[in-house]
A and B are shown apart, each in its own frame.
Chain A
Amino acid sequence: MIRVAIFASAFLVAAVAGWTAMNWAIPKVIMIKAMEGLAERGAGVNSMTLREPADPYRQFVVRPSPDLLYSTCVYDLVRAPLRISVGPTDGYLSVAFFDHITNNYETLTGSLITSQGSDIILKREGQDSLFDTHVVTSPSTRGLVLVRRQISGNDKLPAMQAAQAEDSCVSLAP
């Protein structure tokens, strides 16, 4: 009887460990693969990729919104901070920052971006920004910046894309 209890306990403890390990690994692995894919199919690392509107034959991530225009920047802050610039538009606009395990650690919305100018410095802890502008500190060296713009109608798309063309992501490395 004691032996059965020991075996059952071993099974349960190991099951909890397996559950925890898998839940820990999935976001890490998916984020690594997603960032690699986005960089390869875009403008590379530390550079902004201006995405076309998502449609059934052009989906760069699961559950994309066809009502949003996306720009992406896969970043690596190992050498220096980045300067992020975003073209202002009417309607919903956000600049979201994700760390290497999918946490959305910061989001700047349209009014905040407009009031503080469109330049944002992205740095990791311990790096100097040296600029008098809005500073975002990343908890990880690698991650993703995702810009979302509301489209709402094909007639507005050219104006949205003109604003999107101002989006940039530039390393401040000398």
Chain B
Amino acid sequence: MQKAILFALACVLAGFISGAGAALAYSGKNQLGGHKPGSVVGGNWKTDFEIGSENASGALRARIARKGLFALKRADAVYYTRSTDADGRGLYANCSYRLSGSTFPAEWWSITLYDEGSYLAKNRDGAASVNRDEIVGDAENWSAIVSPERPNDTPNWISTKGAVTFDLTLRLYRPDLEYLMSGDVSGFPTLERLSCDEDFAS
């Protein structure tokens, strides 16, 4: 009988540690993705419309605290993140990509690269992001290069130098929520892998 009680206590302890450990691991994941229409758009741009809200689940709240502290509610900003290219492969800093997009349903937007630790990649290139006011070219059909070296053929560049893997976050400020949440959206940027270093193995 005593053995059975001890075993039951061990089960409770193991269960508690397992649950807490799973929550800790889950909250450390970068990629979001809610279940509402519009939560996953343009291939693999993911968001959760409950970010910043009092209605956010405990798991989402924990995740945002670790990976996007001080995020605004959806009425003021929507944050989409993608961590794969157009073919579903992970994003690697020693590869080059073409990011191509259009206008967004928002007053202002920016796209920023973050390293595997969710910080700006450590480099002095001054090219951590592109935004609506600084993108050069046709606003309806723009493109930028995401690569470790500055491209020769375009000023629109996001540097991957200093990262190993990375993801991109698209911020839409004062967005057209009705349109975004309809689930029927277009114009989100594609991300095409162009090349990788010769010693790249993945």
Chain A interface (Cβ within 8 Å of chain B)? 3, 6-8, 10-24, 26-27, 30-31, 34, 54-57, 59, 61-67, 91-92, 94, 96, 98, 101-105, 107, 109, 144, 146, 150, 152-153
Contacts and interface: CB of A to CB of B under 8 A. Distances in A.
A21 B68 CA distance: 20
A65 B171 contact: yes
B76 A96 contact: yes
B24 interface: yes
25 contacts: A3-B4, A7-B8, A8-B11, A10-B11, A11-B15, A13-B12, A13-B15, A15-B18, A18-B17, A18-B21, A18-B22, A19-B19, A19-B22, A20-B23, A21-B19, A23-B27, A26-B24, A26-B61, A30-B65, A34-B69, A56-B123, A61-B70, A62-B118, A65-B110, A104-B52
Chain B: interface size category: 35 or more
Nearest to A150: B108
Nearest to B59: A23
B158 to A, nearest CB: 11
Nearest to B52: A104
B116 interface: no
A102 B65 contact: yes
B24 A22 contact: yes
Contacts of A91: 108, 133
A92 B174 contact: yes
B62 A59 contact: no
5 closest cross-chain pairs (CB), A and B = A18-B19, A14-B15, A23-B58, A22-B23, A15-B19
A65 B15 contact: no
A15 B16 contact: yes
A103 B51 CA distance: 9
A93 to B, nearest CB: 10
Main secondary structure of the interface of A (DSSP, over half): mixed
Given A67-B131, A102-B65, A107 B73 contact: yes
B62 A12 contact: no
A16 B19 contact: yes
B61 A23 contact: yes
B129 A7 contact: no
A104 B53 contact: yes
A61 B69 contact: yes
A37 to B, nearest CB: 11
Interface in B154-186: 162, 169, 171, 173-174
B124 interface: yes
B66 A26 contact: yes
